[in-house]
Amino acid sequence: MSINTVRALLEDAAATHGDKVAVKLNEKSISYSELLTRVNQVAFYLTELNLPSGARVGIYSDKCIEQVVAILAVLSTDTILVPLTKMLVAEQVEYIINDCDIQCVITDKLKLENIEDVNFKGHVISYEKTEQNIPCFEEIYKYYNKPFQCEVNSHDNAVITYSFGLTGTPKGIVISHRNLTDSAAVVCRYLGLQEDDVISGLLIFNLDYGLNQIFCSLFKKATLALHRFILPTDFFNHLIDDNVTVLALMPVHISQIFDEDLSPIPNAELFDKLRIITSSGGNLSAKMIKYSKRTFPQANFYSMHGLTEAFRSTYLDPAQIQIRPDSIGKAIPDVELYVVNEQGKECAPREVGELIHRGGYIYRGYWNAPEESKERFKSVQILKDVINLEGQLNDEIVVATGDYVYKDEEGYLYFVSRHDDMIKTRGFRVSPFEIESVVEKNLPQISQCAVFGIDNEQIEEEIVLVYSAPGELSEKEIEFELKKHLASYMIPSRIVYKRSLPLMQSDKHSVNKEALKRELTAD
C-alpha cells in the first residue's frame, strides 16, 4: 500500500494515538483504535461483495460517526467513493447513480426510502437494522472480525464528487488518493494545525472542502467533532461543549449564525479556545467579517478560494482580512496562479482576466465527460506567452478555471465573475438550466421561464424565476412541483409572473435575462 493514501494516515494515527478520541458527535465518541477496527470490518464486508476494481460506492446519509466510518472504509478498498449530499431528492440521486454506475449504496433509515423510490438494483447497506432485512453496520461489527489488508495505491481514483456544470446536469470530478493526502498536508501546513486541535465537522461531506476536515484530522491525529447545523444556538453550544479550536465554514453559515432574529450572540469570552476560522464556497461581506471578528476575537480568519477542478487556489492571510476584505488572497503553497487575457498575455494590475491554476492539487478530470474536461484541463502551452517554457514538458496540465479575477499592485487577487452564468447560493453552484428544465418538463402551463441570480449579501445570490403564461399561477403550486425534483437550495426565493418576457435581439428564442435582472433590481 502506498504511503500517500488516507488509509495510511488512519493506520498511522491508530498505531501512535490509538486511545485518543478520533471522532465525536454530542455524547458519542470513538478512539482511533476503535475507528480503524470498525473501518476494517466494513471494508472487509465490501470486499466480500466482489465488486469489480474501481466500482463506485455511494454514501447517502445524515452526518454521524458511522458516515465517517463508511467514508474511510470505501477509501480502504479498491472501490471509489461517491458522496451524495442528504439535500438531494430521489430524482437527483437516481441521475448520479446512473451517471457513474453506482453499484453499492451505504445509507441510513431516513434516506433508505429515497433509494427504494429510484428502484436501485445494486447492493444496499444501512447503518441501522431495518425491517427490510438489509445488511447493516450493527451486524457487520458483530460478525466480521477477520484481518483486513489494504492494497490501495496513491495514483488510484479515490472519490467522485458531483457539482452542477454548464449543461445543467451534475458533473462528477475524479479525485485520486494522492490528491486527498496532498490537500490535507497543505492545509495543515498553511493553517498551522496541531495535534491537540479539535476540528469542527460542521460542513457536509459531499465535496472536497467538507471531506478535507476528516483528512486533516487524520493527518495531525487531531479530534473531529461532528455537528449537524440546525439553529445558531446549537452551533454556539457545539463550539463551547466540544472545545472547538478549528472551524471551517461557508459564508452562508456565517449569515445564519449571526441572524439576531434567531438567537442572541453569546459573550466572546466563551470562544477563547477557537483559534482558526476558514471560509470558502462563496464571497464574504464586510458585515460577515465584522461579526466574526467581534464574536471570535482570538481566531485567525482565513478567507479561501477553491475550484471544482483542483482542491484550492488561494487563501488570504488573516492579517489582511480587514485591510482588503474583498480579496481572495494569493496562491497556496505549491501552486502558481496567473491572470491571462483573451490573447494569452498576462494581465496588468487591475486588468480582468481568467485565472489559470498551475502546480499541485489538480484533479483527474470530469467523469465520462471528455468535452467538459477539455474546457478546463489545458496544456501548459496556454501559458507560453506568460512563463518561459524552455525545457518544460508539453504534457503538463493546468486548469483554466473559468473564474475572472484581477490582481492589485501587491499581487492580491480579487474575484470578479464566472465565465458562465452559474448561480452561487448558500455555498452551492446552481445551474439555471437545471431549474428551467424542470419547469419545462413538469409545468406545461408555463410558456417561457428564465432563472438567474440576484446579489443577496446574506446568501451571496438569491435565485429568481420569472415566467410567462396565459394566466398567473399560484406560487405555492410552482414551488410544490419544483420541490419534487430539486434540492432545497435550488428552489427560487422569488417567483415573478409576466405576461411576456423580453427576448435577445440576436436570438428571438432566448430570454434577455440581463434586461429582467435590471428591471427587478431597479424596483
Element (H, E) at 99: helix 90-99
- The 10s digit of each residue's pLDDT in 502-512 is 987 544 557 88
Average pLDDT value for the chain: 91
From the list 415, 356, 413, 349, the residue with the least C-alpha distance to 382 is 356
Specify the 3-state DSSP secondary structure of 520. helix
Q: What is the pTM of this model?
A: 0.85
Cell digits for 129? 437494522
pLDDT attached to residue 507: 47
Check whether 44 has a pLDDT greater than 80.
yes
Element (H, E) at 143: helix 137-143
pLDDT attached to residue 457: 83
Contact 40, 229 (CB under 8 A): no
Q: Is residue 443 located within the same domain as residue 359? A: no
Check whether 501 has a pLDDT greater than 90.
yes
Q: Which residues have a Cβ under 8 Å from the Cβ of 347 and sit 6 or more positions away? A: 339, 340, 341, 353, 406, 407
Q: Is residue 429 located within the same domain as residue 414? A: no
Q: Which residues have a Cβ under 8 Å from the Cβ of 391 and sit 6 or more positions away? A: none
Number of domains in the chain: 3
- Give the CA radius of gyration of the chain: 23
Question: Rounded distance, CA 518 to CA 161, Å?
Answer: 35
Check whether 261 has a pLDDT greater than 70.
no
Q: What does the pLDDT average to over 322-341?
A: 94
User: Residue 143: inside a domain, yes or no?
Assistant: yes
Q: Is residue 82 located within the same domain as residue 223? A: yes
pLDDT attached to residue 412: 97
> Is residue 500 packed enough to be buried (19+ CB in 10 Å), middle (13-18) or exposed (0-12)?
exposed
Contact 7, 75 (CB under 8 A): yes
Q: What does the pLDDT average to over 347-371?
A: 94
Q: Is residue 331 located within the same domain as residue 478? A: no
Q: Is residue 359 located within the same domain as residue 501? A: no
Strand arrangement, sheet containing 80-84: 123-126, 102-107, 56-60, 80-84, 157-164, 170-176, 365-366
pLDDT attached to residue 424: 81
Q: What does the pLDDT average to over 133-153?
A: 91
- The 10s digit of each residue's pLDDT in 71-123 is 999 999 999 999 998 888 888 889 999 999 999 999 999 898 888 888 899 99
Question: Rounded distance, CA 325 to CA 412, Å?
Answer: 11
Q: Is residue 409 located within the same domain as residue 332? A: yes
Check whether 492 has a pLDDT greater than 80.
yes
Check whether 298 has a pLDDT greater than 90.
yes
Q: Is residue 339 located within the same domain as residue 321? A: yes
Contact 364, 174 (CB under 8 A): yes
Percentage of residues in the chain with pLDDT exceeding 70?
Answer: 95
pLDDT attached to residue 390: 81
pLDDT attached to residue 263: 67
Q: Which residues have a Cβ under 8 Å from the Cβ of 61 and sit 6 or more positions away? A: 67, 70, 86, 106, 107, 108, 110, 111, 127
Which range marks the domain in which residue 99 is found?
Answer: 6-228
SS3 labels along 225-292 = EECCCCCHHHHHHHHHHCCCCEEEECHHHHHHHCCCCCCCCCCHHHHCCCCEEEECCCCCCHHHHHHH
Residue 361 DSSP class: -
Measured distance between the N- and C-terminal CA atoms of the chain, rounded to whole angstroms: 62
Question: Rounded distance, CA 272 to CA 295, Å?
Answer: 10
Residue where one domain finishes, among candidates 356, 388, 418: 418
pLDDT attached to residue 262: 60
More confident residue, 151 or 64: 64
Q: What does the pLDDT average to over 354-381?
A: 94
Residue where one domain finishes, among candidates 385, 418, 451: 418
Lowest mean pLDDT among 132-136, 213-217, 359-363: 132-136
Give, in order, the Cα–Cα distances in Å from 434 to each of 94, 252, 441, 454, 483.
Answer: 15, 22, 11, 17, 13
Check whether 166 has a pLDDT greater than 50.
no
CB count within 10 Å of CB 356 equals: 23
Residue 38's φ and ψ, nearest 5 degrees, are -65, -40
Check whether 416 has a pLDDT greater than 90.
no
More confident residue, 467 or 416: 467
Specify the 3-state DSSP secondary structure of 107. strand
Cell digits for 257? 449564525
User: Residue 63: inside a domain, yes or no?
Assistant: yes
Question: Rounded distance, CA 141 to CA 124, Å?
Answer: 16
Q: Check which CATH number belongs to the domain holding 118 and give it.
A: 3.40.50.12780
User: Residue 396: inside a domain, yes or no?
Assistant: yes
Q: Is residue 125 located within the same domain as residue 220? A: yes
Check whether 421 has a pLDDT greater than 90.
no
Specify the 3-state DSSP secondary structure of 310. strand
Question: Rounded distance, CA 39 to CA 31, Å?
Answer: 12
Q: Check which CATH number belongs to the domain holding 450 and give it.
A: 3.30.300.30
pLDDT attached to residue 165: 42
